[in-house]
Copies of this chain bind each other. A is one copy, B any other.
């Protein structure tokens, strides 16, 4: 008796990373990727010409907390097989930003017009992964509860420089009760590939943050007197560093429009 078999052209699980990328590629999904493919890792994109790519890769390796590299492509290649079956970095993100000498020059829906054979793609882990683990433990994520962006701050903490890439670390902040802060440290320490444990707690002024109500990126969120601000190294750091380095050419994702991968958040937990 014949047993039904899976076909190569069978539609993927609609909640999978592959289905999300197919929806984006075909134009069926536009806009932010938050909430797409629950449980799958989303990543920040940086694309640089080969002549500065090695310096940037070393920058990431020197600064693994703000810049946890989860995937790198071969120069000129739009595929990143380690992160997804049938992945095409030119088409699988809803919106991109193209930069020349530090100036934003375009925000296209795909990279078909601007792709070059000398471009190297880097994918950097994102806090969506650890936020899922925190919420699964019952911890409230304030900016999600408030329906806004996470507040982010430029700090007085310098990153380790590599070539033209240098500048301050950017952190994201989530206010929590002391008990939740302890749990959050325990949980995020298990996710080194997506920023890992916090870099600071409780004393904003020690890392050069003067006013929690005035973030440099994202939105301010309320912090209760009974709460502690908890600071994680943030994936906006490489964008801030690239803006200062002003490379001749660069592509990043449009804020909030991430690469959805085939990797599961749970795979990124170390035991």
Chain A interface (Cβ < 8 Å from any Cβ of B): 178-179, 181-182, 185-186, 189, 197-203, 206, 226, 228, 271
Contacts and interface: CB of A to CB of B under 8 A. Distances in A.
Contacts of A185: 182, 185-186, 189, 197
A182 B181 CA distance: 10
Given A202-B202, A226-B206, A197 B182 contact: yes
A84 B179 CA distance: 36
Given A185-B182, A186-B186, A271-B271, A228 B203 contact: yes
The 5 closest A-B pairs by CB, nearest first: A185-B185, A186-B189, A178-B201, A178-B200, A202-B228
Given A178-B200, A186-B189, A201-B228, 17 more contacts: A178-B201, A178-B206, A179-B199, A179-B200, A181-B201, A181-B202, A182-B185, A182-B197, A182-B198, A182-B199, A182-B200, A185-B189, A186-B186, A186-B197, A203-B228, A206-B226, A271-B271
A190 to B, nearest CB: 9
Contacts of A206: 178, 226
A260 to B, nearest CB: 29
Contacts of A179: 199-200
A77 B135 CA distance: 47
A208 to B, nearest CB: 13
Contacts of A178: 200-203, 206
A201 B202 contact: yes
Nearest to A205: B226
21 contacts: A178-B200, A178-B201, A178-B202, A178-B203, A179-B200, A182-B197, A182-B200, A182-B201, A185-B186, A185-B197, A186-B186, A186-B189, A186-B197, A201-B201, A201-B202, A201-B228, A202-B202, A202-B228, A203-B226, A206-B226, A271-B271
A179 B202 CA distance: 10
Nearest to A227: B203
A271 B186 CA distance: 12
A102 B198 CA distance: 45
A157 to B, nearest CB: 10
Nearest to A225: B203
A226 B198 CA distance: 17
A41 to B, nearest CB: 22
A185 B228 CA distance: 15
A206 B224 CA distance: 13
A126 to B, nearest CB: 20
Contacts of A181: 201-202
A4 B198 CA distance: 53
